[in-house]
Chains A and B, each alone.
Chain A
Amino acid sequence: MEKEFDPKIVGFFCNWCTAAAADLAGTSRIQYPANVRPIRVMCSGSVDASYVIKALLEGADGVLIGGCHPNDCHYVNGNYKARRRVALLKSIFNTLDLDPDRVWLRWISASEGVRFAKVVRQMTDEIKEKGPNPMGKSTQT
């Protein structure tokens, strides 16, 4: 039997919200797929597009950026800057016919363990639907 496609999702999680939400989901024993490889960053605003692109080129099937809700940023406005950068990244991906829907930006506060688990579940399902990321399969990148 062919093995079911098991997507790899690289997560860039803000230290002050989404990373804590992931912790909360864990300590609350909320079940969610183990497809996400979390990387804790100090702010969603510190996630340069290059890291997202690198992850996709190296075989990630999706990238999830988790940041604080608008007006909740620990550094005042990093999440707003992240939002504009993701909008730019998606515009460029769209133009180049690279799949912009493999990059997700979600606001997940430290108290939203349930939302975190739901987002990961939803993203895993949608990426499974899409299949493996062609960007990571190219031997020439």
Chain B
Amino acid sequence: MVGIYAKDLNPREATREFFAELFGANLISSALLPARKAGLNQIFPALLSSKDSLDETFPFAPVMPLSTAVQLSKITRFADPEHTVAVLLRPCESRAAVELVKLRQISLDNVLLITRDCPGTVEPETFEEKASDTLPGFSDFTEDQIRPVCRMCEHPTAPVADINIGTFGADGGIILEAKTDKGEEILKHIALDAELSDTSSREASLKQETEKRTAFMEKNLAELKKEVAGIEGLVKFFAKCVDCHNCRTMCPVCYCNECFFDSATFHFEGPRYEEWTQRRGILAMPRDEILFHLGRMNHIGLSCVACGMCEQACPHDIRVGQLFTLISTTAQKELDIHAGMSIEDPLPLATFREDEFTEMGEEKV
């Protein structure tokens, strides 16, 4: 079912109204939504127990301090299936959540997964600078203030959701679309202004947006690829890396409790450093940051949803999210494994197909 909802309201108010209706009809017992943090000019996900606090929520705030998918893994651990929590995710968060479902880090049993179209986000600092008494919206920012990973994102709308809140192609209000049986069931209780039988203008709008982003991606990544080419390029690209691992901490799909790169594998004794120094003449410290990034690309490259949280977390503004977008989109295309597209998909690195890469290993001698 696809329909127009609250056509006299702007998307923010319409979405608040929609959640109020979900609470009012007792369809959900709590909701996870982006909300203003302690009256400050920052937006973080918050859990709401009723519609009373909906005025504090900003469903379309163009800022993402962290991926809500990670918070979803916390609140669905041993969750009570009787208490439905509605979560509002943007497309990259939904795709990260799908990866975490595949990795058994999120259970969707008691979750009503609501996604919303996303035109892009800015860095939290940029958002804060623009905010005054009122919080800024997407249209308050210029194109070059939008995070490059967002401008390259080919998913303006989420592939996986129970219900999607559409803004592309909407002329007032929001477009509610049920994408699962659970979503259909919920929408039966919601008063839509009109069913949308012809979705062609929405599809055209999404297509136009996607094409614009693809064009930017191709241009940007081609330049980046040239820049990082070879080990010299890579070393230069990561020259400012302080090996803090913030990128990994904020990565929604890096879920391991103890990362291999923090493990005792890398605890060496003093004499080893002496030995390496004697052999090389000069030993760059800290060790292994190139290994860390290349290793992480191999560990999560097939699960990367290109949300760019790594880049936003980097204290030295290394464009690590763009680099991960480059390697992950390429690898996902080449291996025909696409992150975040379906919770039915098998895990990329724990599974295989007998009929793939059959030429590998076989070379006759």
Taking Cβ atoms with an 8 Å cutoff, the residues of A that contact B are 48-50, 53-54, 57, 67, 69-70, 77, 79-81, 83-89, 91-92, 94-98, 105-107, 115, 118-119, 122, 134-135, 138-141
Contact = CB atoms under 8 A, between A and B. Distances in A.
B299 interface: yes
A57 B292 CA distance: 11
A50 B361 contact: no
B75 interface: no
Contacts of B326: 95
B361 A105 contact: yes
Interface of B: 225, 228-235, 239, 260-261, 280-284, 288, 290-291, 294-295, 297-299, 301-302, 326-327, 330-331, 334-335, 348-352, 354, 356-358, 360-363, 365
A50 B295 contact: yes
Contacts of B234: 96, 98
A79 B281 CA distance: 39
Contacts, number: 124
A95 B225 contact: yes
Given A50-B291, A135-B231, A81 B335 contact: no
A64 B299 CA distance: 20
B301 A92 contact: yes
Nearest to A108: B361
Contacts of A83: 352, 356-357, 360-361
Contacts of B229: 96-97
Contacts of B356: 83-84, 87
A77 B352 contact: yes
B258 to A, nearest CB: 14
Given A57-B290, A95-B225, 12 more contacts: A48-B298, A81-B352, A87-B357, A87-B360, A92-B297, A95-B326, A96-B229, A98-B234, A122-B365, A134-B231, A141-B284, A141-B290
A95 B239 CA distance: 19
